[in-house]
């Protein structure tokens, strides 16, 4: 069934305006405006259409694929679908505040049903993190931008500290930010403070998204040569533009001609 800017009715107890548009084989999810929250190629539902979703997986330049991962903010499920399809060693829990977003992701964006590697919950992301045991999550993804920005409880120093405590020894917190957001610098400062400066920013080449990676432990300032070699292997395995990620890391992070400082 094809849609062009068709409104999906909201549940009264959890009201959010959801619009779905489709053009040139790309189906998009919007939350009450023109900004695209998720996009899916109908002929290839697991493809990462939006650049920022591909940038997210830049963390693989630094750590191995996670065994336990948490995604806060589901949208159309692009990130969850890719992890489910391409990272078979990863068990992913997704927490989405709005139950009808989950319903739309499953009915119109090909999000698979829960199984032993995927669990999708309707709930508050900050509360979910607070209830987790310390030190057991390898990757936390915070992708909860709405039409009005990041909800304050998901961008506070306290929340970032809670995420840090839940990460495993070599874990990483990945936060989707918007470079033109007037609070962008404040968010980065909070992340840097909480993670003792272990922060990298990877800008997406489309739009203004910036993926911030905050690491539980020091990454030993990897050499560009080593990162380039790893990028080549990752590109062959996952078909994402890891070489471009390396070049873009140099745009926003301290480095010299031999090393990335992190």
- CB 40, CB 109: distance < 8 Å: yes
Q: Which of 35, 114, 134, 143 is catalytic?
A: 143
Nearest C-alpha neighbor of 177 from the set 231, 141, 153, 134: 141
Q: HSE (CB half, 13 Å, CA atoms) of 95?
A: 17
- Active-site residue flag, 143: yes
Which active-site residues does the annotation give?
A: 143
């Amino acid at each position: 069934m094809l849609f062009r800017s068709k409104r999906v009715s909201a549940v009264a107890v959890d009201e959010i305006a959801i619009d779905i548009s489709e053009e040139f084989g790309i189906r998009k999810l919007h939350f009450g405006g023109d900004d695209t929250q998720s996009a899916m190629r109908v002929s290839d539902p697991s493809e990462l259409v939006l650049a920022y979703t591909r940038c997210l997986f830049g963390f693989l330049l630094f750590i191995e694929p996670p065994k336990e991962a948490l995604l806060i903010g589901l949208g159309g499920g692009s990130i969850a679908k890719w992890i489910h399809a391409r990272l078979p060693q990863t068990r992913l829990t997704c927490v989405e505040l709005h139950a009808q977003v989950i319903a739309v992701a499953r009915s119109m964006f090909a999000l698979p049903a829960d199984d032993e590697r995927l669990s999708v919950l309707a709930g508050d992301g900050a509360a979910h993190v607070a209830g987790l045991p310390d030190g057991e999550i390898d990757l936390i993804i915070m992708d909860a931008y709405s039409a009005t920005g990041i909800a304050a409880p998901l961008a506070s120093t306290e929340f970032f500290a809670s995420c840090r405590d839940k990460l495993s020894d070599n874990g990483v917190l990945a936060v989707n930010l918007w470079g033109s957001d007037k609070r962008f610098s404040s968010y980065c400062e909070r992340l840097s403070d909480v993670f003792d400066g272990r922060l990298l920013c990877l800008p997406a080449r489309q739009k203004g998204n910036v993926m911030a990676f905050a690491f539980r432990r020091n990454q030993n300032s990897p050499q560009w040569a080593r990162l380039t070699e790893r990028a080549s292997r990752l590109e062959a395995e996952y078909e994402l533009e890891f070489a471009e990620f390396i070049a873009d890391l140099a745009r926003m992070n301290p480095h010299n001609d031999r090393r990335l400082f992190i």
